[in-house]
Chains A and B, each alone.
Chain A
């Protein structure tokens, strides 16, 4: 069973309207690369040119901020849930 990645609404249109994507790999970076490969227009919104996360987009692996658990090198296992939260400023 792969892991699931939940996108914010604003990025769904870059993934054919899907909000939840399945992905596989052994690290979170693998899973993000897997999704980026399948949806090339989504890639620049998920990672910078060097393939790293942006400082204004936070990734949560099972509701924990990945910056405190190894970043993209964090190991993932079947059934894990990743949530992507971008900075928004509207008020």
Chain B
């Protein structure tokens, strides 16, 4: 903890003064003895980096800005999409189609004009991460994939910056503080990521909109505590939130002496994180796998208009079928496809679809392996159909 404080102090040995409008703005902080005038000045002097301006990044950026963190770095290269607004409260309906960073800058300027936002409109990579991370006192991980999480962790370990971690899926979230001088790091918790495809993303598996609000505000709390040097940070503890049962518990984390990042220190430079997460291997496997023939939504529309005879199979889940469906499609969720194969006619032309084309590609492969020859994958899935053929079919 002391070194975390020193990290901040190294930038703040000459703490900045607060103007009279700042004193009024932060009055509820100033009357907390644990914060006080010095604490608020520490916040003003602090530089906090938020990686990701999405679900977790939204409450993080809003609360850190409101709290008066002087410099807020934001890393994101994405554009605001309508499907983000169910949870990404940093952005509004008017921002759909804008860069997330531009949207964030406007919103944060309104929340607190005393905060300087340093935007990094780039993908965080092994080439730029150390330089970006090193320029800040505290790093907050609001990313949405394993490769970037290991990258953020290693960059924090290598630069001695605390990593305020948060992660969510469906109804459950996790939070901790990694990479402090004596505490564990993300690699001590999970030595390796799961193979690609095993754990669905929030886009595939869904997430309760308020969950990133719960976890992101916990991360913001921890970041502020680290800057102020107060309380007991989540170092060596993993906070587990189950929003469905509304149970919150902590389990104990230990630094792994064999951790290649913070234990043996064999990781001395940033590595290729896509390789580490198996993404390159997965892409190579994709290239060498049997060819999945695709049909575009427009070609499928033309076949229908001609009255061609074929079977259309939807391999999504029943609750997705409820949201939107293609007329005449037979619902066979991917997990039950194998059991249904005997009921399918292998002499007929079969077109398979899902939401965006990934699950249906797996289904086509499964049918090909079962001896089906005339099987096609609908490119872009029902989402592609909605975009290219019939916007009346809802996108979700």
Contact = CB atoms under 8 A, between A and B. Distances in A.
Interface stretch (A29-37, A63-71, A72-80): A63-71
A85 B57 contact: no
A48 to B, nearest CB: 11
Contacts of A63: 249-252
B213 interface: no
Interface in B229-269: 238, 240, 242, 244-245, 249-254, 256
Interface stretch (B188-196, B302-310, B341-349): B188-196
A86 B199 contact: yes
Given A9-B170, A88-B172, A90-B144, A56 B193 contact: yes
A90 B242 contact: no
Which has the most chain A C-beta neighbours within 10 Å: B143, B199, B212?
Answer: B199
A55 B195 CA distance: 11
Interface residues of B, number: 44
Interface string A1-24: 000000011100000000100000
Contacts of A89: 143-146, 149, 167, 169, 193, 199, 201
Interface string B193-214: 1100001011001010000100
A90 B202 contact: yes
Given A65-B251, A90-B202, A85 B212 contact: no
Contacts of B55: 90-91
Contacts of A67: 256
Interface of A: 8-10, 19, 54-56, 58, 60, 63-65, 67-68, 83, 85-91
Given A56-B194, A90-B201, 9 more contacts: A55-B191, A56-B193, A64-B251, A65-B253, A85-B251, A88-B169, A88-B174, A90-B167, A91-B167
